[in-house]
Structure 1
Amino acid sequence: MPISHKLQASKKKSSWKKKRAKATAPQVDVEIVQAGEAAEEPLPPQRHVAIAVVSLSALFTLTSIYVAQFWRASPDDSLGLVFSGPQQNASVNARDKLSLRYGGSLGAAVAAMGAPSGAIPESSKYDGLLQVQDSQQPAPAPVTTMISQARISPSAAGTQTRLRLAHISPRQPGNFRQPRVLWIHLHGYGGTTICDMARSQGEKVPRAQDNCNVMPDLCSTPKIFRTPCTKRASSLQYTFTAIERAVDEDDLSCSGGAASSPGATMLYGAMLRDPLSGIKSTWIGNELEKDLILAAIKTKTRPRNFQYHFCLPPSDTYQHFDNFAVRTLSGDYDVAPGEVTSRHLERAKEVLSRLDVVLILEHLVDHLPQLHAIFGWDLMMDNPWRSHRHRIPKNAMSPGEEMFLKKVNAWDYELYEFGKELALERTAQAKLRLLPS
């Protein structure tokens, strides 16, 4: 019995040791062990190749960035232009940066003054107003040379000469320390094009849907709601605004006169066009009732009010068919049909003569130097014809209607001829302003 008892105690002790060892042993998952063994196997050759390619690509990218930074820091290295743009190189003449086209009597005037140093005449045809000659040129210091008010009438005849000139303008678009610009927008006379150009040039302008007008000063706005020029001239919100209504003396009170006047707190501009073309554009664009308006003009009675354009008030109808430009610039916009006189024409001429920029829509490209010299706009940036253009059918009006409207708008045609001469003079003066001193 004692021996049997000892055997049982020994078996219990052995069983207890086995349970204790089993409890303290770590739990091993066969699947994990197999996965670990699989992970320790060498990678297939394709993965090694992919890793090598990615590593080489990253190394090449870092090297390219380093080289780009090195070239950017080296103005003398021409390859640096690929990364850093125009470089400051004082050894190159600044007059070679831009080109302007001269011809006729203006070319003779320049020759009499003495051609500027570095002028290069070329007889080849030039199909652009300005052309970049060297992208490495530094920006020259602004020059504010005063231009004589003597009349200069360039002729289209004669051999044209190209002079390489620097970009010279005393004004920087969008700079609130510079004079603001007020554009007199004759409705249907290309004012939307000028507004779009101003926006692309960096001018601070009102919302696009307002067409550069300052709310609530829109088409034919009564005087009580108009924005005075003193407020426009001191604005810290806009550097370019427009008025699409009749001009009054308050609008012009911030002008110093011509572009060369040093006392101006605001610069002014306007664009004229062939009066009959303007009538057709307004008629088609605003869907006005032509027959009703023509009947009112023939009888010299005011037609009924109607409105088809969001900007034009209901009473603004016949005015666009009856010497519209003279009405707008003279300020006496709502005179009855057929009542525009030579007095209104002379007032319109006086106002037009006080403007700094005068453009003609049919010859806009020829007069772009004014925008360059007076407003400081970069002519290389803009396509002046990108704005909306109304498609006018050739048979929009009968020959009899056209003849009648040309006769009615005799004052507008006289103003148009005066404006064309004035635009040529302003353009000639602008080109002289761009000549290096």
Structure 2
Amino acid sequence: MIPPTSRTMQVLLMLILALMIMVAVLNIFAGTISFDSKKKRAIERDEIVYFTHVHKSGGTTMCKTAQANGEEVNRDNNCNMKGDGPWTITEKSLSRTCEERYQLAKEEGYSFVAMERFLLEDELDCKDRFVYILMVRDPEQRHNSHVDVHRHGVLQDKHRSFVGRKKKMKTKKRKRSNYNTMATRRILRRRLKKRHVKSELGIALMDNYISGDNYLTRILIGERGFDGTLPIGSITDEHGEEAKKKLEQFDVILRLEKFEEDKVQLLSHLGWTEWIGVANARSKEVWDEESSESDRVNGPTTYELNNSVDLAVYEHARALAERLTARARTKTSSSL
């Protein structure tokens, strides 16, 4: 066999390189076509995706996943419509009917909208206009995350000071319970006001004490869960039953801890096929470094005693999610 000359080797290498470039270009082109087709499908769909974003329960994950699947969203506010997040909540927004919300979303060109607040009385009544989605998270884990993010962001100003300039602070390692006192609650409220939170309702949505008192139930039963009508310790089983009825109105219920299983609902209802990891997930090492299990706010036993209503509502949501996931799995399997 005649050994190849250096010239022949150069030609072969150039051909291989050209082939690799061609394959890469074709993959990019195919990906662009695929994404464009997803965007076209989302825009042409009559129903708008309406996501109830419970604070610290996978809202950023859903927003990013929506964008990955070609949905048009409000990129300036974590997919929340203006006036529907805790920082921007306004009476004008709360007074809109679901039909007015649909028309506003259409005018803005959105195919996916989120609201990070409590439900309004008739908000889930436009079934022909919206696909209603909720993601839930283990209540205690959600509460710990809520306190954790606010002690690092709002309470300590670790990432950005309230006059707009970056600021780093050295803080002592403290128990989480130290961040749930009335003193720190007053600090939180004062600093939230400095950040121009537009209403007391917005402040209440981020309040550490309310966060630890049947928060999911409060979200589902509406404004009175945050306007002072139901103070700490006043949530009853009756409120829990009301919240469970609200859960029955959602088209899609996802469990953050079981998102890999439940995402088939999004495939079934919306045709979504692109998935990302859980956003803003903190590593176990960071969690262990900052506090031990015994340092958690209120402690597991006290939390469970104070949040029996929420735990029952969450279990009902989990059961519904399992049922909806099984139904979606059957539907998608039969369509193949």
**C-alpha separation between the residues in 1 aligned to 2:204 and 2:29?**
57
1:191-270 aligned at under 5 Å gives the runs 191-207=59-75, 209-219=76-86, 221-226=89-94, 227-234=96-103, 235-236=106-107, 237-255=109-127, 264-270=128-134
Q: Which one of the candidate residues 278, 282, 286 is aligned to 2:146?
A: 282
**Contact in 1 for aligned 2:86/2:203 (Cα 8 Å):** no
Q: CA deviation at 1:397?
A: 4.7
**Contact in 1 for aligned 2:83/2:90 (Cα 8 Å):** no
**C-alpha separation between the residues in 2 aligned to 1:222 and 1:411?**
29
**Greater mean alpha carbon deviation, residues 218-227 or residues 339-348:** 218-227
- The answer as to 2:188 corresponding to 1:306 is yes
What is the Cα-based RMSD across aligned positions, in Å?
3.5
- The answer as to 2:215 corresponding to 1:324 is yes
Unaligned runs of 5+ in 2: 1-10, 32-36, 156-175
1:360-371 aligned at under 5 Å gives the runs 360-371=255-266
- The answer as to 2:38 corresponding to 1:174 is no
Counterpart of 1:420?
318
Counterpart of 1:333?
225
Higher relative contact order, chain-length normalized (CA < 8 Å, sep 6+):
2
Q: CA deviation at 1:346?
A: 1.0
1:389-428 aligned at under 5 Å gives the runs 389-390=281-282, 391-393=286-288, 395=292, 397-398=294-295, 401-428=299-326
1:4-403 aligned at under 5 Å gives the runs 173-207=41-75, 209-219=76-86, 221-226=89-94, 227-234=96-103, 235-236=106-107, 237-255=109-127, 264-287=128-151, 291=177, 304=186, 306-307=188-189, 313-316=202-205, 317=207, 318-331=209-222, 332-334=224-226, 335-378=230-273, 381-385=274-278, 387-390=279-282, 391-393=286-288, 395=292, 397-398=294-295, 401-403=299-301
Question: Based on CA coordinates, which of the two structures has the bigger radius of gyration?
Answer: 1
Where 1:364 maps in the other structure, the secondary structure is helix
**Contact in 1 for aligned 2:147/2:179 (Cα 8 Å):** no
- The answer as to 2:324 corresponding to 1:435 is no
Counterpart of 1:151?
none
**Contact in 1 for aligned 2:61/2:276 (Cα 8 Å):** no
Q: CA deviation at 1:292?
A: 7.1
Unaligned runs of 5+ in 1: 1-56, 69-80, 87-138, 140-168, 256-263, 297-302
**C-alpha separation between the residues in 1 aligned to 2:121 and 2:134?**
16
Aligned residues: 266
339 and 172 in structure 1: CA distance in 2 versus 1, 3 angstrom threshold: farther
Q: CA deviation at 1:278?
A: 0.4
Identity %: 27
**C-alpha separation between the residues in 1 aligned to 2:294 and 2:97?**
39
315 and 330 in structure 1: CA distance in 2 versus 1, 3 angstrom threshold: closer
Counterpart of 2:3?
none
178 and 274 in structure 1: CA distance in 2 versus 1, 3 angstrom threshold: same
Query: Greater helix percent: which structure?
Result: 2
CA offset digits 1:339-366 (Å, max 9, x no partner): 0011211111111111011011111101
Q: CA deviation at 1:194?
A: 0.3
CA offset digits 1:110-129 (Å, max 9, x no partner): xxxxxxxxxxxxxxxxxxxx
**Contact in 1 for aligned 2:56/2:142 (Cα 8 Å):** yes
Q: CA deviation at 1:248?
A: 1.2
367 and 375 in structure 1: CA distance in 2 versus 1, 3 angstrom threshold: same
CA offset digits 1:198-219 (Å, max 9, x no partner): 0111101002x40111112212
**Contact in 2 for aligned 1:195/1:212 (Cα 8 Å):** yes
**Contact in 1 for aligned 2:53/2:134 (Cα 8 Å):** yes
Q: CA deviation at 1:245?
A: 0.4
CA offset digits 1:157-178 (Å, max 9, x no partner): xxxxxxxxxxxx9x97522442
**C-alpha separation between the residues in 2 aligned to 1:248 and 1:83?**
43
